[in-house]
């Protein structure tokens, strides 16, 4: 991380940077460094706290005078300043003097109040190996004070402090149906076991909380006994589950090391233009003039030095058969769904994307809208990707060309006006003729 460098140059007096913690926090110190990318660092500074951002109180010394803290003398060395504990939600750093311009990386030292009280020992707290029933008295666990031959205390009971009675579990154990030793990757406190999350570790027995991975180390898995060193070219801050690559003008030549500023492109090939890696690939300097190319961009495959476009269309054919698949560099795109169907135009990068995002074209039922354009009284027959008009509905006469009309047959209905000595013959809807019977 490059840190905070205000945009004004030269830097102006009165600049400050603020941190909001969202809840009350106990602050006890601050670590500072200069900028990681330019020659700039803060040499002296003031600190202030607030709970509402309206009223600010400067951190003072024992004489109640605003304390001026000494900062850095170069870009990369770390300076730690401690002060009496303060409680606040908001925290500000006010640079007072600096080298060339303001450049600051910092880490606040503190914790939530409940974590402080968890470990705080004082006259009000019942000490470890004792229990306090609440009547102002204190009694020992696992022994009698003074010692006596008829002591009735169990030799395996224990107290983690701040207890009203003894626990049957000794330190480094947790209570289940019986006492079980706290195993690696977990921490046991007051008979309760906690599994360490990624970025934290515990050796188990004898450790009452999971500890964060230190600078330059990481742990991506839960329930682990230790942290792994970041490889050359990478680093991390405290409590990280992965390492971050050094900037192109930095290098790291040892495991668990910090990123250091390069002295020349000869030592750091990633500074050379054009870069030695494939375009779009992160280049990290690993020291002694060596470098490493990271993963190829999405849609490419290779070692980072040389990357080849993946032909998603040929390798996995993610598009609808008649829509067409078009390979890009990088990525791919599907054509529009064919006439009579509908679906998304899929595009993306890489084979994982094609496996999870196949194009699907579904048939459009044209008959649902305006009967597909057929006569309102005719059948509309939907087919895959198309449709066709059928005959007239029952009770109607005609066809889709001349139209379908209600089929009035006077002969069938008996509403004709033929003589009783003549027969009715239907010709078309509403029309008929009468045929007189011949005499015998």
Pairwise CA distance, residues 229 & 243, whole Å: 9
Pairwise CA distance, residues 438 & 428, whole Å: 25
CA geometry: angle 382, 387, 388, nearest 5 deg:
110
Q: Determine the pLDDT at residue 172.
A: 60
Segment 279-292 shows an average pLDDT of: 94
Q: How many CB atoms lie within 10 A of CB 185?
A: 20
Pairwise CA distance, residues 220 & 232, whole Å: 18
**Residue 345 structure tokens:** 């135009």
**Which residue shows structure tokens 């029952």?**
394
Higher model confidence: residue 285 or residue 114? Answer: 285
Higher model confidence: residue 117 or residue 251? Answer: 251
| Nearest residue to 132 via CA among 95, 167, 170, 161 | 161
Phi then psi dihedrals of residue 87, to 5 deg: -115, 125
For the chain, domains (ranges, CATH) are 17-119 (2.60.120.260), 312-363 (2.10.25.10), 366-406 (2.10.25), 408-440 (no CATH)
Beta bridge partners of 27: 86, 110
Confidence of residue 34 (pLDDT cuts 50, 70, 90): very high
Segment 42-53 shows an average pLDDT of: 95
Q: Determine the pLDDT at residue 395.
A: 66
Residue 190: pLDDT above 80?
A: no
Residue 2: pLDDT above 70?
A: no
Q: Determine the pLDDT at residue 123.
A: 45
CA–chain centroid gap for 407, Å, is 69
Are residues 257 and 244 in contact, defined by beta-carbon separation less than 8 angstroms? no
Q: Determine the pLDDT at residue 260.
A: 93
Q: Determine the pLDDT at residue 60.
A: 94
Segment 380-401 shows an average pLDDT of: 84
| Nearest residue to 189 via CA among 168, 212, 166, 206 | 206
- Name the 3-class secondary structure at 132: coil
Pairwise CA distance, residues 158 & 169, whole Å: 6
Segment 257-269 shows an average pLDDT of: 91
Of 2-16, 178-192, 238-252, 395-409, give the range with the top mean pLDDT.
238-252
Residue 408: pLDDT above 80?
A: no
Confidence of residue 272 (pLDDT cuts 50, 70, 90): very high
Residue 357, C-beta contacts closer than 8 angstroms, at least 6 positions apart = 318, 346, 348
Q: Determine the pLDDT at residue 364.
A: 93
**Residue 179 structure tokens:** 């006492």
| Nearest residue to 142 via CA among 126, 159, 125 | 159
Q: Determine the pLDDT at residue 412.
A: 75
| Nearest residue to 72 via CA among 41, 101, 97, 108 | 41
Pairwise CA distance, residues 269 & 289, whole Å: 6
Q: Determine the pLDDT at residue 368.
A: 93
Confidence of residue 122 (pLDDT cuts 50, 70, 90): very low
Q: Determine the pLDDT at residue 156.
A: 64
Share of the chain above pLDDT 70, in %: 91
Higher model confidence: residue 381 or residue 150? Answer: 381
Instruction: Please report how many Cα atoms fall inside a 13 Å half-sphere around the Cα of residue 273, on the Cβ side.
Output: 1
| Residue range 68-120, pLDDT digits in tens | 999 999 998 899 999 999 999 999 999 999 999 999 999 999 887 766 655 44
Q: Determine the pLDDT at residue 115.
A: 67
Length of the chain: 440
**Residue 45 structure tokens:** 């500074």
| Residue range 215-243, pLDDT digits in tens | 999 999 999 999 999 999 999 999 999 99
Are residues 424 and 411 in contact, defined by beta-carbon separation less than 8 angstroms? yes
Phi then psi dihedrals of residue 423, to 5 deg: -105, 150
Pairwise CA distance, residues 229 & 217, whole Å: 4
Cα dist from 77 to 68, 254, 345, 356, whole Å: 19, 17, 53, 48
**Which residue shows structure tokens 């007189």?**
436
Residue 282: pLDDT above 90?
A: yes
Residue 327: pLDDT above 70?
A: yes
Average pLDDT value for the chain: 87
Instruction: Please report how many Cα atoms fall inside a 13 Å half-sphere around the Cα of residue 425, on the Cβ side.
Output: 7
Segment 152-156 shows an average pLDDT of: 75
Which own/partner pairs from 117-125 qualify as long-range (CB within 8 Å, at least 24 positions apart)?
118/189, 121/161, 125/161, 125/162
**Which residue shows structure tokens 């401690």?**
82
């Amino acid at each position: 991380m490059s840190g905070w460098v205000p945009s004004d140059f030269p830097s102006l007096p009165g600049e400050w940077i603020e941190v909001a913690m969202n809840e009350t926090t106990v602050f006890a110190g601050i670590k500072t460094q200069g900028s990681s990318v330019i020659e700039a660092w803060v040499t002296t500074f003031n600190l202030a706290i607030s709970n509402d951002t309206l009223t600010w109180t400067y951190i003072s010394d024992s004489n109640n005078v605003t304390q001026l803290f000494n900062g850095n003398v170069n870009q990369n060395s770390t300076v730690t300043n401690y002060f009496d504990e303060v409680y606040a939600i908001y925290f500000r750093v006010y640079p007072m003097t600096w080298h060339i311009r303001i450049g600051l990386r910092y880490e606040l030292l503190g914790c939530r109040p409940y974590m402080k009280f968890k470990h705080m020992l004082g006259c009000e707290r019942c000490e470890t190996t004792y229990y306090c029933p609440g009547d102002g008295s204190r009694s020992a666990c696992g022994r009698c004070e003074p010692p006596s031959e008829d002591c009735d205390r169990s030799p395996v009971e224990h107290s983690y402090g701040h207890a009203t009675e003894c626990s049957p579990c000794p330190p480094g154990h947790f209570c289940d149906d019986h006492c079980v030793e706290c195993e690696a990757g977990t921490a046991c406190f007051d008979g309760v076991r906690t599994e360490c999350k990624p970025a934290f570790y515990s050796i188990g027995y004898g450790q009452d909380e999971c500890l964060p991975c230190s600078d330059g180390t990481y742990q991506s898995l839960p329930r682990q006994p230790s942290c792994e060193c970041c490889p050359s070219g990478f680093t991390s801050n405290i409590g990280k589950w992965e390492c971050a690559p050094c900037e192109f003008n930095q290098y790291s030549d040892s495991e668990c090391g910090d990123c250091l500023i390069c002295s020349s492109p000869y030592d750091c090939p990633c500074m050379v233009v054009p870069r030695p890696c494939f375009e779009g690939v992160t280049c990290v300097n690993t020291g002694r003039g060596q470098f490493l190319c990271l993963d190829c961009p999405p849609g490419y495959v290779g070692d980072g030095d040389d990357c080849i476009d993946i032909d998603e269309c040929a390798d996995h054919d993610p598009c609808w058969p008649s829509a067409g698949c078009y390979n890009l560099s990088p990525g791919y795109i599907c054509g529009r769904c064919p006439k009579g169907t509908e679906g998304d135009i899929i595009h993306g990068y890489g084979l994982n994307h094609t496996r999870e995002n196949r194009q699907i074209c579904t048939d459009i039922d044209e008959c649902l809208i305006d009967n597909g354009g057929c006569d309102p009284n005719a059948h509309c027959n939907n087919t895959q990707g198309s449709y066709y008009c059928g005959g007239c509905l029952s009770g109607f006469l005609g066809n889709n060309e001349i139209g379908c009309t209600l089929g009035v047959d006077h002969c069938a209905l008996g509403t004709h006006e033929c003589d009783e000595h003549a027969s009715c013959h239907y010709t078309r809807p509403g029309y008929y003729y009468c045929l007189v019977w011949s005499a015998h």
